[in-house]
């Protein structure tokens, strides 16, 4: 039976590393990756480089990373909507 994420609130446009995202939702890493992938596909989340993240320039293509969901400490996920 697949894990069900608990209700959680994320601050809009704040970068969350995958581990923090997993912890807030109370999921194992595989389930967290599936949730993040679904959010990315629906346009609710974007992957960004934590070291160069700049909210004012988020819309620039160079700031948004397009890669698979990976346990990379340099990657964070920015949520566009609160209450996911």
DSSP 83: -
Q: What is the pLDDT along the chain (84 residues), one digit of tens a residue?
A: 567 878 888 888 888 999 998 999 999 999 999 999 999 888 888 888 777 777 666 655 435 555 567 677 778 888 887 554
> Reduced to 3 states, what is the DSSP secondary structure of residue 76?
strand
Note the pLDDT of residue 14. Answer: 86
DSSP 64: B
Note the pLDDT of residue 19. Answer: 93
Domain chopping of the chain, boundaries? 15-79
Note the pLDDT of residue 25. Answer: 92
């Amino acid at each position: 039976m697949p894990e069900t994420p608990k209700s959680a609130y994320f601050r809009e446009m704040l970068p969350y590393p995958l581990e923090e995202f997993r912890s807030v939702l109370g999921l194992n890493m595989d389930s967290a990756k599936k949730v993040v992938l679904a959010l990315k596909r629906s346009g609710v989340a974007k992957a960004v480089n934590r070291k160069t993240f700049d909210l004012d320039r988020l819309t620039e293509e160079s700031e948004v990373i397009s890669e698979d969901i990976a346990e990379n400490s340099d990657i964070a996920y920015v949520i566009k909507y609160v209450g996911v």
